[in-house]
Amino acid sequence: MAPEADKRRYADQAYDAIESMIATLVLKPGAPIVEADLIERTGLGRTPTREALMRLVANGLIVQLPRRGLLVSDILLAEHLDLLEARRALERLIATSSARRATPPQREALVQCAQDMLDAAKRGDLAAYMQADQALDRVNHAACRNPFAVAAVIPMVIQCRRFWYAYQHQGDIGEGARCHLLLARAIAAGKGEEAAAASDALLDYLRQFAQQVIE
């Protein structure tokens, strides 16, 4: 592997590791970012860690404040519903694109990821549920072949994942898994209109969950 590819791979690993810490509230909102601590936790070097932190700043999960350095961003309840409305339009585009463009292995993988979510929900295994959710997103994003839509939606997905971890006691992962399974099956069947409707239903579920938290 070329040196430049090595650097990119390590930066991606650092990003995934730190993003997971933020999304699962290992790094809590408002917590200071200590670079040396993250290097130790991830086992990666200073350069990939710094690259990852800058990407997380761009995605809104970390904020850079004068004289205070880097902090994990707050969860803003008042803005979350607006975020979901913006995400709705992007997810609908991604779903319909995936229904048209997904390869047979991708269609199969989407359904398997959704089934894994359902199985994890039945066991009450939140960690496995979220891992399957992330895996489904990765396949769906690759299948849609629209890097611009994916780049726009990823920060919103991460914010929603963190919101879920913060308020999971008010959620219903069984219903979430059911919504994902309907979406995956519609995409796998190549039915664009059904995929769009399933995507809207998933966002309706996320909005209802958010409204319960806010109220």
pLDDT (tens digit, 9 = 90+) per residue, 59-106?
Answer: 888 998 888 889 999 888 888 999 999 999 999 999 999 999 999 999
What is the C-alpha separation between 47 and 193, in angstroms, rounded? Answer: 45
Residues 16 and 51 in one domain: yes
Residues 99 and 172 in one domain: yes
Residues 40 and 53 in one domain: yes
**Tokens (6 digits) for 19:** 């993003």
The alpha carbon dihedral of 205, 210, 211, 215 has a sign of: positive
Residues 81 and 68 in one domain: no
**Tokens (6 digits) for 73:** 């961003």
Which residues on neighbouring strands pair with residue 64, listed in sequence order?
Answer: 70
pLDDT (tens digit, 9 = 90+) per residue, 125-180?
Answer: 888 888 899 899 999 999 999 999 999 999 899 889 888 888 876 678 899 999 99
Residues 97 and 38 in one domain: no
